[in-house]
Amino acid sequence: MRLIAAILALTLVAIGAGALAGLHLFAAAERVADAKKSATPPPLASSYAGSARLRKLSPIVTNLGAPANNWARVEASMVTESMSDEDAGILAAHISEDIVTYLRSASVTQFEGSRGLQHLRDDLAERANVRSSGKVRELIIETLVIQ
């Protein structure tokens, strides 16, 4: 009988210790979760100084050079120096025309793989930079769909 009483007492002590440890861990987890909620994320540092603006180009849809039954849709944005909205609109139209001209002379195989996409991005950025006389800092391809 004493053995059963000792085992029962040890079991009750173990249950109590486990419950206290669980409550302590639960409280610690709540404190960490609350600290993460109230922590403000650090501000994102821009790689562009001062007067740079992101301007979205209208979506471009055109057929490719080879094979002629393939179509491409490009959505892009450009990062420009400070300029008036009218000048930026005119520049965006010229850059869109350049993108259409480039895509109409390109084939699907030029865009295959990550290297092909990087070449497309570099070629279009170079064309935009030349067209704008250096006012376009970067051309960002947001989406490219080829059908």
Residue 81's Cα: distance from chain center in Å?
Answer: 22
Residue-wise pLDDT for 114-136, tens only, equals: 999 999 999 999 999 999 998 99
Tell me if the pTM is above 0.75: no
Residue 83's Cα: distance from chain center in Å?
Answer: 26
Q: What is the DSSP letter of 82?
A: S
Whether the bond between 42 and the residue before it is cis, its omega within 30 degrees of 0, is no
Query: So what CATH class is 52-146?
Result: alpha beta
Residue-wise pLDDT for 74-91, tens only, equals: 999 999 888 888 999 999
User: Where in the chain are the domains?
Assistant: 1-40, 52-146
Residues of the chain with pLDDT under 50: none
The residue with tokens 């947001």 is 142
pLDDT at 65: 85
Angle, alpha carbons 116-117-123 (nearest 5°): 90
- Which element (helix H / strand E) includes 10? helix 2-38
Kindly report the number of other CB atoms within 10 A of residue 102's CB atom: 16
